[in-house]
Amino acid sequence: MATKSKKHIGFFEKFLTIWVALGIAAGIVLGHFAGDSIEFISSLEIAKVNIPVAILIWLMIYPMMLQIDFSSIRQVSKKPRGVVWTIAINWLIKPFTMAFFAWIFFTKIYGAWIDPAMAGEYIAGAIILGAAPCTAMVFVWSYLSDGDPNYTLVQVSVNDLIILVAFIPIVGLLLGITDVVIPYDTLVASVLIFVVVPLVAGVLTQRILRKSMGVEWFTNVFLPKLKPLSIIALLVTLVLLFAFQGQNITNNPLIILLAAVPLVIQTYFIFFLAWYGGKKLNLSYPVCAPSAMIGASNFFELAVAVAIALFGLQSPAALVTVVGVLVEVPVMLSLVAFANRNKY
């Protein structure tokens, strides 16, 4: 009897937490030695969108959009309960529980260390992160947990479509509740720049290259070569972010740990809610596992971009979204291990 080959996460994805930690360290060191001179980069912006960071974020998201096949949405009718359950988790529950956990920790538990004005921005960063369900790394989590790849693709496609219409109202509603003034024009511009434009570019590139070079070349040659681009762009973005956050972090080195706690709690909470809820709905394991993974993980590229556009490179909101990147990989790998131990 043939032995099933063991699945492995890619080199860049496997050590993403290490790369992120190194990027954070490099950014703090750069910010310390460069001083005020590095602030020139923050002045390079159009309509409150920083140009260098916008380019880097675009380079993160574009390769991911190349993998989306929206024709797969036709498969939704085959497993409607799984799709409906995941949509409910991502859009009716997750953003609100993230806001709740952030409010509890940043205004109540951390009240002695964080002043109310700063707490509002930390909450805003968590809200932005919680309102952006994963569209890329979830492919890795689904693969490692033996999820249904076609179902995962459907979920990613549906989420991308929902983001276009639901992200702005949900973020606006929750930021309004937390008394943070939000410029809707900047938020709309961010979604257009960081979702719509790369999505259209990805679809056009996919169609052109598949037609001219063939599907096999596009899938097995072009996409693998482009894949490291997202990680490299992410790391350079982190260096810039933490170069501007360096003084805040050195003045309060525990802030990363404090920000990580509610994010980790939220991730585990949403995963187990989606996991056990899916089992109650009699979802098959290959459908339930990706459903829980999608709910637990975040579209952190979009969250980082929107936080920067709304509140600036040096903001606590941007810092929270970056901390989300730092904690996601180890937490999600632990959830993959849980799923593999509890297959049914």
- The per-residue DSSP string of 144-204 comes to HTT--HHHHHHHHHHHHHHHHHHHHHHHHHHHHHTT----HHHHHHHHIIIIIHHHHHHHH
Instruction: Give the pLDDT score at 35.
Output: 67
Residue with tokens 């060191």: 29
pLDDT under 70: residue ranges of the chain: 1-14, 16-17, 35-36, 42, 45-50, 70, 72-78, 136, 178-184, 186-187, 245-249, 251-252
92 within domain boundaries: yes
Cα 300 to Cα 222: distance, rounded to the nearest angstrom: 24
Quote the Cα angle for 298-302-173, to 5°. 85
Rounded Cα–Cα distance for residues 241 and 244 (Å): 5
Could you tell me the maximum CA-CA distance found in the chain, to the nearest angstrom? Answer: 65
The reply to whether 207 falls in a domain is: yes
Count CB atoms within 10 A of the CB of residue 58.
17
In a domain, 189, yes or no: yes
Amino acid at 123: I
Pairwise CA distance, residues 234 & 262, whole Å:
23
- Residue pair 274/296 in contact by the 8 Å Cβ criterion: yes
Q: What 3-state DSSP class applies to 79?
A: coil
Contacts of 261 (CB under 8 A, 6+ apart): 105
pLDDT for 1 equals 45
The answer as to whether 34 is a domain residue is no
Domain carrying residue 249: 60-341
pLDDT in the model for residue 117 = 81
The closest of 336, 50, 9 to 190, measured between CA atoms, is 50
Residue 9 is assigned to a structural domain of this protein? no
Half-sphere exposure of 136 (CA within 13 A, CB side): 21
Whether 2 is in a domain gets the answer: no
The continuous run of DSSP H or E covering 255 comes out as helix 255-280
CATH number of the domain bearing residue 228? 1.20.1530.20
In a domain, 172, yes or no: yes
Looking at the 3D structure of the chain, how many domains does it have? 1
19 within a domain of the structure (yes/no):
no
Q: Which two tokens stand for residue 113?
A: 């260390």
- Give pLDDT, residue 3: 47
Cα separation, 27 vs 319, whole angstroms = 12
User: Which pLDDT belongs to residue 47?
Assistant: 60
d(CA 219, CA 206): 10
d(CA 33, CA 269): 40
Distance (Å, rounded) from C-alpha 167 to C-alpha 169? 6
Among 320, 13, 299, smallest CA distance to 162 is for 299
pLDDT of residue 128: 92
- Environment class of 73 (CB within 10 Å of its CB; exposed 0-12, middle 13-18, buried 19+): middle
